[in-house]
Amino acid sequence: MKISFVIPFHNENKNCLPMIERVVSYGKKEKLNFEVIPVDDRSTDGTGEILKKTVKKYKNVHPVYRKSDKVEKGNTMGKSLIAGTKAAKGEIIIWTMGDRSDDVETYGKMIKKIQKGYDIVFGSRYMPGGSRGNLDLLKAFLSSWGTRLAGLLFAVPVHDITNAFRAFKKEVFDVIGLESVGFSISPEFAIKAQLSGFRLGEVPTIYTNRVEGVSSFKIYKMTKSYLFLYMKLFYDFRLRPQFSRVSKGAGSKS
188 binds ligand GTP (CB under 6 A): no
End-to-end CA distance of the chain: 26
- Residue 12 touches Mg ion, criterion: CB under 5 A: no
Q: How far is CA 161 from CA 116, 124, 165, 176, 190, in A?
A: 20, 8, 9, 16, 6
Site for ligand GTP, residues 40 to 69, rule: CB under 6 A = 40-41
d(CA 251, CA 109): 28
Residues 6+ apart with CB under 8 A from 87: 37, 62, 64
Q: Give the residue with the Cβ less far from ligand GTP, 101 or 194.
A: 101
Going along the chain, which residue ranges are E strands?
A: 2-9, 33-40, 64-65, 92-95, 120-124, 166-169, 200-204
- Asked if 216 interacts with ligand GTP (CB under 6 A), we say yes
Is residue 98 near ligand GTP by the rule CB under 6 A? yes
Q: List, in order, residues 6 or more apart from 252 with CB less than 8 Å away.
A: 82, 85, 86, 173, 174, 176, 177, 178, 179
Give the interface size with ligand GTP as a residue count (CB under 6 A).
Answer: 20
Q: How far is CA 116 from the centre of its chain?
A: 21
Does 102 bind ligand GTP (CB under 6 A)? Our answer is no
* Distance in Å, CB of 181 to ligand GTP, minimum: 9
Cα distance between residue 118 and residue 134, in whole Å: 29
Which residues, 91 to 130, sit near Mg ion by CB under 5 A? 99, 101
Q: Is 75 in the site for Mg ion (CB under 5 A)?
A: no
35 binds ligand GTP (CB under 6 A): no
Q: Near ligand GTP by CB under 6 A, which window of 22-30, 39-47, 228-236, 246-254?
A: 39-47
Indicate which of ligand GTP, Mg ion, none lies near residue 107 (CB less than 5 to 8 Å, by partner kind): none
Candidate residues 4, 6, 12, 130; the one interacting with ligand GTP per rule CB under 6 A? 12
Q: Does 210 bind ligand GTP (CB under 6 A)?
A: yes
Select 119 or 160, whichever has its Cβ closest to ligand GTP. Answer: 160
Contacts with ligand GTP by CB under 6 A lie at 8-10, 12, 39-41, 75-77, 80, 97-99, 101, 209-210, 215-217
